[in-house]
Amino acid sequence: MINIILPVDFGEKTNQLIDGAVKFAKEVNGKICLIHVAPTDIGFAIGDMGYQYFPEIEENEIREELVLLNKINQKILAQGVECEHILKQGIAKDIILEYANLKKADYIVMGSHGRSGIYDVFVGSLTKGLTKSSKIPVLVLPIHE
């Protein structure tokens, strides 16, 4: 079976990305390995006393993201595609590549929002970073307005 890594960020275009990945998985008899990478600074806030860490904020956010990830997992399974999911914290590009290696992935499926230029300078592009760093093929699905 073909292992397909599918990183999700719960953005407004996530459903389009999932639909494309499911279609691809069905075509290649693939299994989707769903991953969400949460930032490591979820519970930090800046206030009058400088940086403060609130573990309860981080725990609640992670719990909510796990619920969303489980819903996506169930949606994929309901369409007849084998799926598993994991949530990790860290630097998205590094975590996704580590997970792809762990799963002996055949593909990473990412979405492209069609942004470029100044957006990439300030925000960066995870898809661009993965295509440059990955030793396995990265399938980029166009996700436009």
State the Cα–Cα distance between residues 135 and 107, nearest whole angstrom.
Answer: 10
Own/partner contacts of 26-29, CB < 8 Å, gap of 24 or more, are 26/79, 26/80, 26/81, 28/2, 28/4, 29/1, 29/2
78-132 tens-digit pLDDT: 999 999 999 998 899 999 999 999 999 999 999 876 555 444 443 347 888 888 8
- Strand 44-47 relative to strand 50-53, pairing: antiparallel
49-89 tens-digit pLDDT: 666 666 676 788 888 999 999 999 999 999 999 999 999 98
